[in-house]
Amino acid sequence: MANAYLIIREGAKWADVVRLVPGESVTIGRGPTNTVVVKDERCSRSHAEVFLAGGKWQLRDLDSRNGTIVAGQRLSGDYELHPGDIIQIGNSHLAFVNDLAQAFPDTSTLLKSSRAVDGELSDLGLPAGDDESVLESFEPTMITHRKGQSRFLGAAEVSDVAEASPKVNRAAAKLCRLAFELAKSTDAFSLAQVALSGLFEGTQVDAGAILLRKRDESGVRRSEELEIVASRSDSEHKYHRVSPFLAATVMREGQAVMARNVMDDSQLGNRDSRGEILATSVICAPVRLEGEILGLIHLYSTDPNRSTDPEDLEFTLAVADTVGVALENLNQRQELAENLNQATAECVQLREQLGVQSEIVGSSEVMMRVTQQIARAAPSRATVLIRGESGVGKELVARAVHFSSPRKKGPFVCLNAAALSETLLESELFGHEKGAFTGATERKIGKFEQAHKGTLMLDEIGEMSPTIQAKFLRVLEGHPFERVGGSEQIKVDVRVIAATNRDLEKDVAEGKFRRDLYFRLHVLEIIVPGLRKRPEDIPELAAHFLRKFNEETGRKLKGYSPRALEELLRYRWPGNVREMKNVIERAVVLARGDYVDHDDLVLSRLTTAGDTEMGLERHEPKSGYQPASLADVEKAHILRTLAATAWNKSKTATILGIERSTLDRKIRRYGLEADRRG
């Protein structure tokens, strides 16, 4: 018997056609190593086999648990198969025929198990029922080869075969080159186009497509429905979509198949207007990744002189597996890009929050003036000197300058010069080499290098030692520097913002601060007033900190009692905004009612810096209090403040918390110019 076939039916579906070859036995079972794999719980791992003996095809049950049934009888020994016999294994059926042309003329004679067959024809793209005209025109797909793994993806196997097969060697080279091209793809469409070009070059096909599962709501390819990502046809006919039978077989089994006489979605199959079959041979391979099937590659030839062979099947399966990996890499790149875009957006939002208009709290006239100074200083490359008492928010102003400047995408590095000794400060600023001093176990990059293309803020600049001041000045003037213990010349592009609460002019006069460094730093100056000099901002700051600590602690305090707000306004705030922040945080934690009351506010009795330097109490006669009018007190206070600032009217007005024009009027009213000349 030259021609013999097993037509496999699972449930209500015709699943596959296997050609029986003399000299080769066909094993049937649930195990993946069988020729015919039956996915049925009632099927044993090695259930039965079909073999040729004495010129007749025989069926033998392999001691299966549930047995093998033919014509309603359970086998007890070898059984000689006859055309039309139905082998029943669990819920699956295999029809034995020797002529495919007569395979489907009459379902009642073919399926002797008398099971209903309505539905299986529609699964093949045909209408259900027993319409003989349709059945007579139906020529089933004949799968001639199957392949689960390609040897092209096994380096050892390729090297063994390549010496004896130049075609394998060329195919492996093409696959390697194609893998590099696939890795460069930026989207699924371009990836599919590259894969098809490589497949058309490496196989005997002239039409094909790559189909992938549609994405579900979460964006994962899990849908049972396939969509064509890219298709191509080099023949005179347009591409014909893969038949549901082949697609279902490949997606279910996860193996690549090569077939003949393939039907498409239409009732007449791949036929032209004269009724001739268009596809002479077809390859269909699953696109797999770690056991999951993402889609399939469908290729076919319409030229009778160019028929696919098993090597083409090997190559297509290797490309399909490579496409699966490339798709995963593409998804990961896209996911990383999305995460990067999200992180960038969040970073932009955070930087906006650090900007002038979002983080500085206060709408008083003096703070509006500070904001304007920041806006003017930000675009410049010039060094900025920020002055103000401790706790007023000098670092906040420095951040606002940086994030409002063209350097906002660069780093912002902050260092407190008063917190470190001279040796450690030099190491922190300029870095050190391994072994430069005891404890230097590795190279350290200094703050200047860290702030390259960005901004370096040095707080408490007045606390620097003269040695560090000299080296710091050279870097400010654009000279390269060396790490401690190193000889490499390092040059950086850094904008410096210095901050201090000291009277640098006095330190320069006393020789504590270099005069040339003072002038190098004193290019743009921003004076941040103390909190007591802008009482209008106290309610706004108090509300801001209340919201902040309500969110952090989970409290739901509604605000401040009138007496608590009065206490906040009357208090002198020697620690400025930093002190207020700590006072409000403590009050939010300790408050017992719905509002912060005056009992919840823990305020110190420390004097402010201004009171310490220019307080009236230290100028009072030791004999006791001397009554004086408010005008006399104001006159004396303004005069002493002018004297302390060397008659710098702008600085005096800032200290007094009044406008420069107001100060000029008071000077004229009290005749203070005459007192100065006297």
pLDDT surpasses 90 at 248: no
The count of C-alpha atoms lying within 13 angstroms of the C-alpha of 618, restricted to the half-sphere facing its C-beta, is 8
CA-based max dimension of the chain: 140
Using one digit for the tens of pLDDT, what is the confidence trace for 475-531? 988 889 988 888 889 999 999 999 999 889 999 998 889 999 999 999 999 999 999
Radius of gyration of the CA atoms of the chain, in A: 44
416 close to 459: Cβ distance less than 8 angstroms = yes
Residues 6+ apart with CB under 8 A from 190: none
Q: pLDDT tens across 260-318, in order? A: 654 443 333 344 444 444 567 889 999 988 888 999 999 998 887 777 888 888 889 99
> For residue 273, what are its two tokens?
């207007």
Q: CA nearest 84: which of 104, 65, 64, 58?
A: 104
Mean pLDDT within 83-110:
69
Q: Residue 384: what pLDDT?
A: 94
Of 246, 243, 245, 1, which is closest to residue 99 (Cα–Cα)?
1
Per-residue pLDDT at 166: 61
Assign 144 a pLDDT band (cuts: 50, 70, 90): low
Listed in sequence order, the residues at least 6 apart from 351 whose beta carbon sits closer than 8 Å to its beta carbon are 403, 408
503 by DSSP, 3-state: which? coil
562-590 pLDDT per residue, tens = 999 999 998 989 999 999 999 999 999 98
d(CA 620, CA 452): 54
The DSSP letter of residue 240 is: -
pLDDT of residue 114: 28
Vertex 258: Cα angle to 254 and 259 (nearest 5): 120
b/e map 427-444, b = 16+ CB within 10 Å = bbbbbbbeebeeeeeeeb
The pLDDT mean for the chain works out to 80
CA distances from 51 to 47, 59, 62, 68, 328 (A): 14, 7, 13, 15, 43
Instruction: Point out the least confidently predicted range of 161-170, 471-480, 549-558.
Output: 161-170
3-state secondary structure of 476: helix
Main-chain phi, psi angles of 390, to 5 degrees: -65, 135
Instruction: Name the band, by pLDDT with cuts 50, 70 and 90, for residue 126.
Output: very low
Evaluate whether 537 touches 364 at the Cβ level (below 8 Å): yes
Greater pLDDT, 201 or 114? 201
Give 313-364 pLDDT, tens digit per residue: 888 999 999 998 998 888 888 888 778 877 776 666 565 555 444 468 888 8
The model's pTM is 0.43
Q: Distance (Å, rounded) from C-alpha 385 to C-alpha 274?
A: 90
The pLDDT, as a whole number, for residue 281 is 81
The terminus-to-terminus CA distance of the chain in angstroms comes to 136
pLDDT band at 616 (very low <50, low <70, confident <90, very high): very low
Confidence of residue 157 (pLDDT cuts 50, 70, 90): very low
For residue 110, name the pLDDT band (cuts at 50, 70, 90): very low
Query: Does 164 score more than 80 pLDDT?
Result: no
Q: How confident is the model at residue 204 (pLDDT cuts 50, 70, 90)?
A: confident
- Is 216 or 638 the better-scoring residue by pLDDT? 638
Helix or strand or coil: residue 238? coil
Tell whether the model's pLDDT for residue 85 goes beyond 80: yes
Output the CA torsion sign for 28, 29, 33, 37: positive
Are 105 and 47 a contacting pair, CB within 8 Å?
no
Amino acid occupying residue 221: R
552: left (phi over 0), alpha (psi -120 to 50) or beta: alpha
Name 285's bridge partners: 297
What's the pLDDT score for residue 335?
A: 81
Which of 336-340, 415-419, 433-437, 614-618 has the least mean pLDDT? 614-618
Name the β-bridge partners of 85: 96
